[in-house]
A and B are shown apart, each in its own frame.
Chain A
Amino acid sequence: MKINDPNEALLDVKDLKVYYRTRSEPVKAVDGVTFAVKPGEIFSIVGESGCGKSTLANAIIRLIEPPAYVAGGEILLKGVDLLKLGDEGIRSVRWKEISILPQSAMNALNPVMKIHHQIKDAVRAHARRMSDKEIRKRVNAMSKKVMLPSYALKAYPSQLSGGMKQRAILVQSFVLDPGLVIVDEPTSALDVVTQRKILEFLITKRDEAGTSIILITHDIAVAAEVADRMMVMYAGKVFEVGDITDVFDDPLHPYTRALIEAVPSLGTKRDVRGLSGLPPDLTNPPSGCRFHPRCTQAGDSCESDEPRLWEVKQGHLVACRRCEGWRAE
């Protein structure tokens, strides 16, 4: 279960850098991120606002626009570098091979178009040869799975609740059965019951269709509920990657530990602790480890040397100099 084994990975992101152009120094929103997603797994990317997780998601499917630009790296989907595809090439991959459910997608629906027309339009744009009948069949089948009632398909967005709109978007992202779907904060504006329904749908897709899902969330509890593996990001960097149980049982990075401790849990009266300090300014990130000003474990070398990801045990990687066994190479 090596994460950098390309033979096993569906998506292989290598040293990806996505910067935002500014008048002075670029903002390094994603700065040398490497990870791989295996077929049929839910891979969760967890981090706080501004850590670069949404920029990363949009970069994978080539949806970033200026002032953001890819400053380096590779995004291999089944061995094909998405960054090298032309406009037509990427269009043939989107929706069929890889699709995205962007953050606050439900606000992106066209208010003057009925839901089923919007879904049909989107499908049509990417699968030109599909017949109306076939599209309708797929939409209806997918709607059943996400429990989107038929009246909702015929409604305008304003007639539906947030949960219903979110489900309509889910239908759209999954209707062509892509092998990889990126979902960016799919449930952050929803009540817990609807959230659970949507997360259970993702699990079903993984189990039944073998779909790989990248679940981007700020809520570590959501990751704990559904993810197979998880990656923690901070200030554009990957801090830790591993099996979800490994990361929760034995969080190696002090930041991961702090994140887990900061989350209240229902039913267990444990004392939650907040983290002191603020996330860094990415135009001028701290030297060395970007977490060192807030880290309780930081030593001198953390301020000067940037830690690299290293595999502490099988499949569990961390970027921290203070972790036991660290060897500066």
Chain B
Amino acid sequence: MSLLELQNVTKIFSVGGLLRRRHILAVDDISLSIPEDRPVTVALVGESGSGKTTIGRLVLAFLKPTSGKILWQGKDVWKIDGKERQIYRKNAQAVFQDPYESLDPTYATVDTLMEPIKKFKLASSRSEAIKIITDTIESLGLRSDTLDKYPHQLSGGQKQRIMLARAVLLKARLIVADEPVSMIDASLRASILGLMREIKENYGVSFVYITHDISTASILADQIVVVYLGSLMEFGDFDEMVTKPMHPYVKLLMDSVPIPDPKRRWKGDVKIKEDEGEVLPKDLMKFRSRCKFCQRCGEAKEICHEKQPPSVDVGKDHKVLCWLYA
């Protein structure tokens, strides 16, 4: 059984008023699973507007899918209630992009961390709770005097550590981290990402790491999912996909990541057709019957413009949504 499974999940947002109602396709028929027997970190990569944040919110059940199912340990998260739902809420935690907005400015760190302990009755007394909190934050590289500080006294990196500590306190099984380091300085990023890797290994927590920056994923990701305009283009082992990507879009993506070494610069030109116009999210509904990348793809065949590509298994735990491999 999987810890988490997305079965053909689609999310369509309806926007606008009665007369000018429009439908925006954010997530299109995505299936994905995270195993239960071992912790894994899945990097969810895509450009802005690709639907990666929406997927994260669907996983956390902040949003209800338009169609398809999200299963937690085999049970549909929208069909469970009461105690089971509460357990799911405790087990699946979130860390967001903007640490400046995710903490209550009137709460000292100790209050922020006490909240979940009270809610889920994780300690029998206040002193026991304080001990649990202190042990946790110290193991995550924060000093115990952080407990008395308010958010404005903390740096972005410290705030993200507190959000991670909150998830660890709850003994979460899965953390959805949406661009957790994009607002943090380069010199401090590495330590937050390293901490996430440690949490995975030491506490057995799986991660969905949502990012547009593939190089940061290399620090912690085991698997990678590349989404483009709402569709899952390729899914597989991180190292394998970085060295041998199969989907033309993923090839282009991997090829465009800047490498911090002036001796290994980009060679040649990027082969990409853009004159034909780009697909805006509001027009996506019309593009469901073909490959979403076909207009920009250098390897597109006739069929790519006519029919939606199938999801092809190209190896163990390796899927590609492309006609080239069908």
Contact = CB atoms under 8 A, between A and B. Distances in A.
Contacts of B111: none
Nearest to B46: A191
B194 interface: yes
Interface stretch (B23-31, B34-42, B69-77, B211-219): B211-219
A199 B314 CA distance: 34
Contacts of A192: 47, 212-214, 253, 256-258
Interface stretch (A74-82, A170-178, A273-281, A320-328): A273-281
A149 B242 contact: no
Residue among A149, A194, A272, A276 with most chain B CB within 10 A: A272
Interface in B184-228: 185-194, 212-216, 218-219
A269 B219 CA distance: 8
A312 interface: no
Interface in A242-277: 244-245, 248, 258-260, 262-267, 269, 272-276
A273 B254 CA distance: 23
Residue among B48, B260, B262, B274 with most chain A CB within 10 A: B260
Given A220-B186, A221-B215, A266-B218, A274 B275 contact: no
B14 interface: no
A247 to B, nearest CB: 8
Interface in B246-285: 252-263, 265-266, 269-270, 272, 274-275, 277-278, 280
A266 B215 contact: yes
Contact of A248 (B186, B189, B262): B262
Interface in B50-74: none
B242 A193 contact: no
A222 B266 CA distance: 11
Interface string A48-66: 1100000000000000000
Contact of B187 (A151, A189, A262): A262
Interface of A: 48-49, 147, 149, 151, 159, 161-164, 189-197, 199-200, 218-222, 224-227, 244-245, 248, 258-260, 262-267, 269, 272-276, 278-279
A97 B35 CA distance: 59
B262 A264 contact: no
B207 to A, nearest CB: 16
Contacts of B272: 193, 197
Interface of B: 46-49, 155, 185-194, 212-216, 218-219, 239, 242-243, 252-263, 265-266, 269-270, 272, 274-275, 277-278, 280
Given A192-B214, A197-B270, A272-B193, 7 more contacts: A161-B280, A193-B252, A195-B258, A200-B270, A218-B186, A221-B260, A225-B258
A111 to B, nearest CB: 16
Contacts of A265: 215, 218, 259-261
B194 A272 contact: yes
A219 B278 contact: no
A193 B258 contact: no
A218 B183 CA distance: 11
Contact of B253 (A193, A248, A263): A193
23 contacts: A49-B185, A159-B280, A190-B48, A191-B47, A193-B47, A193-B253, A195-B258, A196-B266, A218-B185, A221-B215, A221-B257, A221-B258, A224-B261, A227-B262, A248-B261, A263-B190, A264-B190, A264-B193, A266-B257, A274-B189, A274-B190, A276-B191, A278-B155
Given A164-B278, A273-B190, A220 B47 contact: no
A224 B263 CA distance: 8
Nearest to B47: A191
B48 to A, nearest CB: 6
Contacts of A259: 186-187
A103 B43 CA distance: 28
Given A196-B256, A265-B218, A278-B155, A244 B188 contact: no
Nearest to B279: A161
B285 to A, nearest CB: 17
A211 B200 CA distance: 48
A277 B296 CA distance: 44
A147 B258 contact: no
B189 A222 contact: no
A219 B186 contact: yes
Residue among B186, B189, B219, B263 with most chain A CB within 10 A: B186
A26 to B, nearest CB: 23
